[in-house]
Structure 1
Amino acid sequence: MSLDRRLTPATDRVALDSLRGILDRPAYTPGYPARLAVPLADLMTAPDGRRDRQVNFGADLTVIEERGDWAFVQAALDGYCGWLRGTALTEDLPPITHWVRAAATHVYPAADMKRHQLHALSLGARLSVAGIEGNFARLATGGHVPLQHVSESPASDPVEIAELLLGTPYLWGGNSDWGIDCSGLAQAALTACGIACPGDSDLQRGAFPETAEISRGDLLFWPGHVALAASPDLMIHATAWKMAVIRESIPDAIARIDAAGDGPFLGARRPRPTG
């Protein structure tokens, strides 16, 4: 039986209990829950391997195997699996109450914007807010984040979310304001609006129904590429062509990508709210 490596919670040694009878491994485990405690981490194909995707602060994960300084995990957000540094994880799991609604924000040691920041967080980071101090949210995990940058409810327009990241550098496998790729941008925009979305463009194309007419919020697909329609004629995407998140005319993009030999245009899909 062929299983998608990206979504299969198993290493060459250990698999999740749910794969008993499906995948032959020397050992099986129920795994244990953990959460990302650093601003951002690469999900790698192997310890010290190639980056597949990234996970942001507060991401819920299931730990399947620990090997030296590394842990093999599966992300609750989209089922993506990979290796990351075990030191990036915590088993302290206070309830998630908010998420970062700005392109990026800073975490401060106190409710004072003049204090030296502890670190930065990107759009989509998940937060456990324990209280409000002035114009800051106090995190149960430590630190304070400006209230202007957080939300406790989903956004309503994926295009508005994607526009927050205009100019962000292109990064293969990236999922943050420090670098993002085409599928990372689509996932960030839809997830912010409460719409479940896989991590890679081929998976995204298979997740949503086709639509003949392009409307705002639709996903547009090419082989290995995805964009978000801002209107029937304009799209937003993270592209290696400009190494950034840009706006581009849809007809121009179709012609340019075809001319480069990276086509054809595969059509549009319409995301639907989860549930």
Structure 2
Amino acid sequence: MSDSLDHRSHAYRPDLADIRLKGQVTADRFIEGAPGEVAIPVADIRPRPDPECSIDTQALLGEALTVFETSNGWAWVQLAEDGYVGYVREDAIREGVSQATHIVSVPRSFVYPGPDLRFPQLRTLSMGSRVTIVGAAETRGTPYALLEDGSAIIATHLCPVAEPAAEDAVSVAARFIDTPYLWGGRTGFGIDCSGLVQLALAMTGKSAPRDSDQQAAHLGTVIEPVSDGLQRGDLVFWKGHVGFLEDPDTLLHASGGTMYVTREPLQAAIERIARLYGPPTLYRRP
């Protein structure tokens, strides 16, 4: 048996492992996880049950996950969206299968106590958050979708979970211009390079791995810039970084250099990044 599977996408530890990995890894005990979902707007996923360690990724309200263990206020989980494994605060999740009907399709949207934009907002949701809609209302010409607890969200900020919210991932990514860069972030409140790619593609109905090295290994088809040519939507990879091409000469990415989502001339980005991390390592067409 091999114990070299990627821990980011396979739930196993020396003492406990996903039963689906039995025969592939060694562990003291194998279990079938329980279904759950995220119960707060944004849940940080960490590599250890330690609030002081950096986050690996984030899960959004209503996203489904599998819970393998809860202990000392932490849950060890695997996200359904991309298979990412990590630790989340136990109070950030709830048991059961997600019944979400709609997904937030704008970078950020408010939830109100009722169908009126003049009400004080209860919470703010990021693009990609999932909600269960049970009714509709209209106030002063603005349509609202009603949630199970009677709260409301602008109806035009949602789309059904079964339908792509957009056709062009680059247009989705461009809506995040000036959003702050956040290591491990994948929301409209803060996002990193691979999170931007993953979320933008998800809104067009395409799944993508979470981290840039995983995307470089598995996402789409490898292309050669000279022979294949570059076009809108292609991905440029560096060691530890990725960005969309908005056109053959323009890079759109969550930049650790500017610390926000930005666009810049591709050649200027190549020259700037090369001073620290070398030239691009790969180009892919998702």
Shared fold (TM-score, shorter chain, > 0.5): yes
Q: Distance in 2 between matches of 1:63 and 1:47?
A: 14
Q: Distance in 2 between matches of 1:26 and 1:67?
A: 17
Match of 1:75 in 2: 79
**Residue 155 of structure 2: which of 147, 157, 165 is its match?**
147
Q: Distance in 1 between matches of 2:71 and 2:147?
A: 31
In the alignment, structure 1 residue 175 sits paired with structure 2 residue 186: yes
In the alignment, structure 1 residue 53 sits paired with structure 2 residue 68: no
> Tell me, what secondary structure is at the counterpart of 1:132?
strand
- Cα deviation, 1:234-261, whole Å, max 9, x if unaligned, reads 1210011000000011111111111x23
Match of 1:242 in 2: 258
- In the TM superposition, residue 12 of structure 1 has moved relative to its aligned partner by 3.7
In the alignment, structure 1 residue 157 sits paired with structure 2 residue 173: no
Match of 1:26 in 2: 28
**Residue 64 of structure 1: which of 65, 68, 90 is its match?**
68
Q: How does 1:59-208 map to 2 (within 5 A)?
A: 59-134=63-138, 135-140=143-148, 143-152=151-160, 153-154=163-164, 155-207=166-218, 208=220
RMSD: 1.3
Q: Distance in 1 between matches of 2:149 and 2:71?
A: 26
Q: Is the 8 A contact 1:72 1:84 kept in 2?
A: yes
> Tell me, what secondary structure is at the counterpart of 2:269?
helix
In the alignment, structure 1 residue 210 sits paired with structure 2 residue 222: yes
- In the TM superposition, residue 10 of structure 1 has moved relative to its aligned partner by 2.1
**TM-score where L is the length of structure 1:** 0.94
- In the TM superposition, residue 94 of structure 1 has moved relative to its aligned partner by 4.9
Match of 1:232 in 2: 248
- In the TM superposition, residue 264 of structure 1 has moved relative to its aligned partner by 1.6
- Cα deviation, 1:118-155, whole Å, max 9, x if unaligned, reads 10000111122112222111123652110121112211
- In the TM superposition, residue 92 of structure 1 has moved relative to its aligned partner by 4.5
**TM-score where L is the length of structure 2:** 0.91
> Tell me, what secondary structure is at the counterpart of 1:227?
strand
Q: Distance in 2 between matches of 1:54 and 1:262?
A: 26
Q: Distance in 2 between matches of 1:72 and 1:142?
A: 32
> Tell me, what secondary structure is at the counterpart of 2:180?
coil
Match of 2:237 in 1: 221
AA aligned to 1:242 is: T
Structure 1 residue runs of 4 or more that deviate by more than 4 Å after TM superposition = none
Which blocks of at least 5 consecutive residues in structure 2 are unaligned? none
